[in-house]
Amino acid sequence: MMNYQDIYLICFIEMRNDMWDFEKYGKNISVILERDIKYTYNDINELQQEMASYLDARTLIFMLVENSIGSLIGYIACIKNKVVPLMLDVNISQEKFNYIYNIYRPKYIWLPELSQIKKLGTVVYSKFGYVLLKSEYLWKDLYSELALLMCTSGSTGSNKLVRISYKNILENTKSIISALDIKENDKALCVLPMHYAYGLSVINTHLFCGATILLSNRKIYDKRIWEYFKKFHGNSISGVAYTYKILKKLGFEKWELPDLEVITQAGEKMSEELYSYLTEYACKNGVRFYPMYGQTEATARMTCMEWNKNRDKFGSVGKSISGGKINILDSENNYISMPKKVGQIVYEGENVALGYCENVEDLSKGNEWRNILFTGDMGFIDEDGYLYVIGRNDKYIKLAGNRINIQEIQNILERKFKECIFDVKFDKKKVFVLYEGEISNEEVLDYISKYMGFSKNIYKIIKIKEIPILASGKIDNRKIKSLMLDEKEI
């Protein structure tokens, strides 16, 4: 008769093998770096096993990650061997690192040897310019299915983390592969950071299929990225809305990318102007464009738009991925069955995370959310079941007795001033319009006040050199708020 330890070991082995089958794709190229450095699936399997020999299972590790082979091997070694990583931006400040470190007290730290972060612990292993530090902290009671910890918004300034299970990762990976029809011969450009759920999911899905990832730390606007992409016949790119705003500004539609087949977008709502731009680009160039909707709390993605429906269902983020379900709730938390009626978006599926954690004791908690996520986003479902995201609950302001969605203001400005990039915020009394581009504050103010029919006094227009962006590619709202406080009204 098997005892508890035997049963645990069997489950452990099965869970390890479920996520990635590297032996199946052994000779396939898994990763290509810019300097023509290639790794097969056999290579990364051997490398992760080597690192795993220095790790104790069911312990917590802080990983300061970038899009490098060292970060990738570290992540794979953890997931395959039941070590729980917290994915942190490699550029995290010492102050923020110390704050989170003192709360969660990890057993290990995996970080670049040249990192400015103080080395806490004893070096027990090194590879690819990374070092593994082992602390003196005792093991903590980690929930058996806890696989991964992620920051809630790509930022590393908070101790509030998302607890993600092995099943969450596996189910979301399989659903995305099905939705995007990812194949073994695909080559995906990976420039979204690994500490960002969407960026990590691009890696998870392609390695699951035996495909190839083109891994780079360069910014999307660096021309060397696209030389690398063309050289190795990349056929898939993924980005947030801001990624494509930049590419549009650079004249992406004129570039020669003969192997490009797939464009995916998630992370934040696209403007109508940008949605139209990518739809038309895809139609003209035989590219499949997939707008999607997701959150870290759902292990990255919840819906996917069929690539051939973008014109018919303009602006939609599609239907739920396989195994999931989208519902709309009214203000009293009743389900809305009427098509096109706006309410809060609620998602159900096995990719919904376990819950949040705010301290080390929370890591022993089980599945608190029970596969249901109240997203905090507003939207509606049309008569054919397609989801349209309107914006966050906090994107509404009441002006002159009228309730207005500030996302609409941003859409209006982006349609008019196509060469500019905008971000619109508000406080209790003002609408703040921040932008970068070659126009004047007066032009923006005159246009939006006339279009909306409200007094100029409710607007504060701020021209800045560059919209501040997080490593995830999303707009840095903390810096935006600082600019809002610093600038004077015109």
pLDDT reported for residue 363: 98
* Whole-structure pTM value: 0.82
Please determine, for residue 438, whether its predicted confidence score (pLDDT) is greater than 80. Answer: yes
Confidence of residue 394 (pLDDT cuts 50, 70, 90): low
Please determine, for residue 476, whether its predicted confidence score (pLDDT) is greater than 70. Answer: yes
Which residue, chain included where needed, has tokens 């660096």? 222
CA distance 446 to 80: 58
pLDDT reported for residue 475: 82
- pLDDT, one tens digit per residue, over 79-95 is 999 999 999 999 998 98
Output the DSSP codes for 248-273. Answer: HHTTGGGS--TT--EEEE-SSPPPHH
CA distance 454 to 433: 14
Mean pLDDT of 474-478: 81
CA distance 130 to 128: 5
Q: Who wins on pLDDT, 431 or 336?
A: 336
Mean pLDDT of 418-432: 85
Please determine, for residue 158, whether its predicted confidence score (pLDDT) is greater than 90. Answer: no
Q: Which amino acid is at 226?
A: W
Give whole-number Cα distances, 149 to 17, 142, 204, 363, 383, in Å.
20, 12, 15, 9, 37
Please determine, for residue 29, whether its predicted confidence score (pLDDT) is greater than 90. Answer: yes
Which phi and psi (to 5°) does residue 87 adopt? -85, 115
Strand partners, 215: 190
Which helix or strand (DSSP H or E) is residue 74 part of? helix 69-80
Beta strand 130-134 with 108-112 is antiparallel
Confidence of residue 9 (pLDDT cuts 50, 70, 90): very low
Please determine, for residue 119, whether its predicted confidence score (pLDDT) is greater than 80. Answer: yes
| Both tokens assigned to 199 | 């960026």
- pLDDT, one tens digit per residue, over 291-339 is 999 999 999 999 999 999 999 999 999 999 999 999 999 989 899 999 9
Neighbour tally for 11: CB within 10 Å: 12
Beta strand 236-239 with 212-215 is unpaired
Please determine, for residue 154, whether its predicted confidence score (pLDDT) is greater than 80. Answer: no
CA distance 101 to 97: 6
Half-sphere exposure of 475 (CA within 13 A, CB side): 21
Beta strand 319-320 with 303-304 is antiparallel
pLDDT reported for residue 127: 98
pLDDT reported for residue 379: 96
Burial 327-359 (b: 16+ CB within 10 A, else e): bbeeeeeeebeeeeebbbbbbbbbbbbbbebee
Please determine, for residue 10, whether its predicted confidence score (pLDDT) is greater than 50. Answer: no
Confidence of residue 6 (pLDDT cuts 50, 70, 90): very low
Which phi and psi (to 5°) does residue 285 adopt? -110, 10
Q: List, in order, residues 6 or more apart from 374 with CB less than 8 Å away.
A: 329, 344, 346
Please determine, for residue 1, whether its predicted confidence score (pLDDT) is greater than 70. Answer: no
Lowest mean pLDDT among 8-17, 204-213, 471-480: 8-17
Please determine, for residue 260, whether its predicted confidence score (pLDDT) is greater than 80. Answer: yes
Please determine, for residue 408, whether its predicted confidence score (pLDDT) is greater than 70. Answer: yes
> Please, what sign has the CA dihedral across residues 193, 194, 197, 201?
positive
User: Do 108 and 61 contact (CB within 8 A), yes or no?
Assistant: yes
Mean pLDDT of 429-434: 87
Give whole-number Cα distances, 43 to 77, 97, 379, 476, in Å.
13, 32, 45, 37
User: Do 241 and 247 contact (CB within 8 A), yes or no?
Assistant: no
pLDDT reported for residue 152: 81
Mean pLDDT of the chain: 90
Question: 81, 83, 59: which is closest to 140 by C-alpha?
Answer: 59
User: Do 326 and 346 contact (CB within 8 A), yes or no?
Assistant: yes
Mean pLDDT of 264-276: 92
> Please, what sign has the CA dihedral across residues 451, 315, 326, 155?
negative
pLDDT reported for residue 396: 61
Mean pLDDT of 404-433: 84
| Both tokens assigned to 392 | 């966050």
Q: Who wins on pLDDT, 6 or 19?
A: 19
Confidence of residue 484 (pLDDT cuts 50, 70, 90): confident
Which helix or strand (DSSP H or E) is residue 293 part of? strand 288-293
Q: Which percentage of the chain shows pLDDT scores above 90?
A: 74
Q: Who wins on pLDDT, 132 or 137?
A: 132
pLDDT reported for residue 400: 46
User: Do 141 and 58 contact (CB within 8 A), yes or no?
Assistant: no
Mean pLDDT of 395-417: 72
Half-sphere exposure of 250 (CA within 13 A, CB side): 13
All domains in the chain, ordered by first residue: 4-165 (3.40.50.980), 169-322+376-392 (3.40.50.12780), 400-486 (3.30.300.30)
Neighbour tally for 136: CB within 10 Å: 9
| DSSP summary character for residue 475 | B
Confidence of residue 398 (pLDDT cuts 50, 70, 90): low
Mean pLDDT of 350-366: 97
Please determine, for residue 11, whether its predicted confidence score (pLDDT) is greater than 70. Answer: no
If DSSP codes are grouped into helix, strand and coil, which group holds residue 380? strand
pLDDT reported for residue 482: 82
CA distance 203 to 210: 11
Neighbour tally for 50: CB within 10 Å: 13
CA distance 168 to 253: 36
Beta strand 262-265 with 288-293 is parallel
Mean pLDDT of 218-243: 95
